[in-house]
Structure 1
Amino acid sequence: MEWLEAHVAQIWFLIIGFFVLYYAVADGLGLGVGMISLFSPDEAKRGVMMASLQSTWQDNQTWLVLLGGMLFGAFPLFYSVALSAFYVPITVMLFGLIFRGLAFEFRGHSERPSRWSLSFGLGSLVTALCQGFTLGGIFYGIPMDGQTFTGTVWSWFHPYSVVFTLGVVSGYVMLGANYLILKTDGDIQRSSRRCSSSAGFSTLVVSVVIYAWTIARHPYMARKWTAAPEFFSVAALPALALVAFALYRRGLGRSESAPFLWNVVLVFCSFAGISVGFYPYIIPNMVTIQNAAVSSPRTLIFMLAAIAVLLPVILVYTGYKHWLFRGKAVGGGYGD
């Protein structure tokens, strides 16, 4: 029990990290599909793209709500500071999600579905941009004095967050293209392979820039990359990410499933690698995981017992839905 009380904050950090990763993949591919649809002149193809997401898009909003609730319960300091620092992008993101959801519901009932297809694409783009600026602002560092946010309403907007947002957008497009390779055929699949190739290259370049910039920005992270024992732990995951990227490129022209599967591995290794570099901070240079956690370990243990029951149920249900809607997206489109 003493060991659990001493490490329950770190356990919750891992759980929330899993939720962030799952959401980044599950909704990231949907946002990517939405952004890709903006460049498709064929309304029927846009409908097929939306139909490919019918098993995932509603569940992904649930994961986002759960993520917010867990942050509020487990790390209230981080939750309050993040809301203060990123009020603008988070608010705009909610509007993006609303317009995206409305597009799914009303496109099939509209006499002019192109309007709702545009709403789906623009909502996806706005959501991806806001998530990029929020994550970029967190990784760059939040201005604080003690436990209080001391920045302005625009502190999240700077060159680093712009580059980070480019990486998020290109990464989501890469995920979406690889998902369409898996779920479609014909012209959509062929164009998705070309899109994946371009987005993959830009994602790789921007990711290398972000890694280098982040290491230069945070001295304690730079020390991990220059000290021999720590170097092997922090460099292993980025190295695996490069291997996953090479395997993704190899499978891009040969397989329907390999590009997406290796893309998921790439996302995991990249995110885990930068998180290991930041450890033990949850807000870089300012707040550690332990300091950001709720003061009572017993509260975290109680929440841990609840999530231990809920998480397997959610995963089984989500897995069943994916199995139920397996195969190619067909028909006139979502809602038709």
Structure 2
Amino acid sequence: METSVHSLLAALWFCLLGLMLAFYVVTDGFDLGIGILSLFARRREDRDAMVQSITHVWDANETWLVVLGGGLFGAFPAAYALLLQNLYLPLMGLIASLILRGAAIEFRHAAQGNSHFWDAVFGIGSLLAAASQGVVLGKLITSLEPGAWNALFTAIAACGVVAGYALLGATYLIKKTGWQLEALARRWALTCLPVTLLCALVLSAVTLKVSLVTSLRWQQAGVLPVLAALALVAAAASACLAATTWTGGHRGPFRAAVVLFLVSFGGLAISLFPYLVPGKLSIVAAASDSQTLIFMLIGIGLLLPVMVGYNLYQYHVFRGKVSTAH
């Protein structure tokens, strides 16, 4: 009985961490994407509007990453130790990049008529943060193993995350901005969408070669039909994104991009389960004892509704398009 309860608690925490990671990827993903796209904005007014569109939400978006790290440390300490030991450089790169872009957002306002340096720091920090997350994803799926195929997979994963975040950022700008920047964002979205889909298809195909555990997982009864259904939803979301972007929709592109990310993330979670590190560490083996998991479950049960409610209220208050008049 104790073993079954512990397994249930471990699976529940796997789902909770997946939920928190999904919140982070969607919310911080679009503001990282806006930072990446700012590198391609030539006009100062456009860059100002891009930063203004996330000024009131970017710091709250990153709190999901903090909660995720704390949850991983408490619920799966063995996985926390293994991942930090093998992913030290990309994780330190991620933290440094987030610090740089946060400083750039604040300091660019104090620049005396010349914010080009801080604009560059903002864009490069966002790009490096997204690429670092892609490296972590690629190395995780390849079980932290070295090799040429694994390195190629990791590089494609980094490109896919960068393109995907840029897609989220472009669709968010469609919703939040107007005039020339909105038209530019639509072109960015239509450019990033095929790149994102191509990276996703290549990663899915290469996964069958570089990750034996994941390929075996796909062959288990009931898994492939679920993944096929998610793929159909992703295809529909992609078509909706392209159509609403092309026909002038404002909220549709971002909503479709969020659905595309969520179903892709759901497919990844299904492919990894019941492992945190494929072939090396299962969720049961990595989990803390049952008492710790229950204690943390009470805490997250109180914290999670507050965070979700605050985020929803925040986006409600700052809804609508930004104005660059001031």
Task: Please report the TM-score for the alignment, with normalisation by the length of structure 2.
Answer: 0.94
Task: Give the Cα–Cα distance (whole angstroms) in 2 for the partners of residues 319 and 155 of structure 1.
Answer: 43
| C-alpha contact 2:100 2:122 (8 A) present in aligned 1 | yes
| C-alpha contact 1:163 1:206 (8 A) present in aligned 2 | yes
The one-letter amino acid paired with 2:37 is: I
Matched, 1:257 2:231: no
Q: Cα distance, 1:212 vs. partner?
A: 1.0
| C-alpha contact 1:137 1:156 (8 A) present in aligned 2 | no
Task: Give the Cα–Cα distance (whole angstroms) in 2 for the partners of residues 23 and 227 of structure 1.
Answer: 30
Classify 1:61/1:231 alpha carbon distance in 2 versus 1 (closer, same or farther; 3 Å).
closer
Q: Cα distance, 1:225 vs. partner?
A: 3.7
Give the SS at the match of 1:282. strand
Matched, 1:174 2:167: yes
Give the SS at the match of 1:232. helix
Classify 1:125/1:289 alpha carbon distance in 2 versus 1 (closer, same or farther; 3 Å).
same
Q: 1:103 corresponds to which residue?
A: 104
Task: Give the Cα–Cα distance (whole angstroms) in 2 for the partners of residues 221 and 97 of structure 1.
Answer: 31
Q: Cα distance, 1:91 vs. partner?
A: 0.9
2:204 pairs with one of 204, 211, 215: 211
Matched, 1:323 2:325: no
Task: Give the Cα–Cα distance (whole angstroms) in 2 for the partners of residues 299 and 324 of structure 1.
Answer: 37
Counterpart mapping for 1:71-90 below 5 A? 71-90=72-91
Task: Give the Cα–Cα distance (whole angstroms) in 2 for the partners of residues 44 and 84 of structure 1.
Answer: 43
- How many residues align structurally? 323
CA offsets per residue over residues 22-79 of structure 1, 9 Å max, x none? 1111111011101111111111210110000022111122111111111100111111
Q: Cα distance, 1:216 vs. partner?
A: 2.7
Q: 1:288 corresponds to which residue?
A: 282
Task: Give the Cα–Cα distance (whole angstroms) in 1 for the partners of residues 218 and 308 of structure 2.
Answer: 36
The one-letter amino acid paired with 1:60 is: N
Matched, 1:190 2:183: yes
The one-letter amino acid paired with 2:301 is: A
**Where in structure 2 are there 5+ consecutive unaligned residues?**
none
Q: Cα distance, 1:156 vs. partner?
A: 11
| C-alpha contact 2:77 2:286 (8 A) present in aligned 1 | yes
Matched, 1:236 2:238: no
2:121 pairs with one of 111, 119, 122: 119
**Where in structure 1 are there 5+ consecutive unaligned residues?**
144-150
2:239 pairs with one of 246, 263, 268: 246
Give the SS at the match of 2:319. coil
Deviating more after overlay: 156-165 vs 283-292: 156-165
The one-letter amino acid paired with 1:163 is: I
Task: Give the Cα–Cα distance (whole angstroms) in 1 for the partners of residues 150 and 89 of structure 2.
Answer: 10
Give the SS at the match of 2:222. helix
Q: 2:273 corresponds to which residue?
A: 279
Classify 1:197/1:322 alpha carbon distance in 2 versus 1 (closer, same or farther; 3 Å).
same
Task: Give the Cα–Cα distance (whole angstroms) in 2 for the partners of residues 156 and 48 of structure 1.
Answer: 41
Q: Cα distance, 1:93 vs. partner?
A: 1.5
Give the SS at the match of 1:158. helix
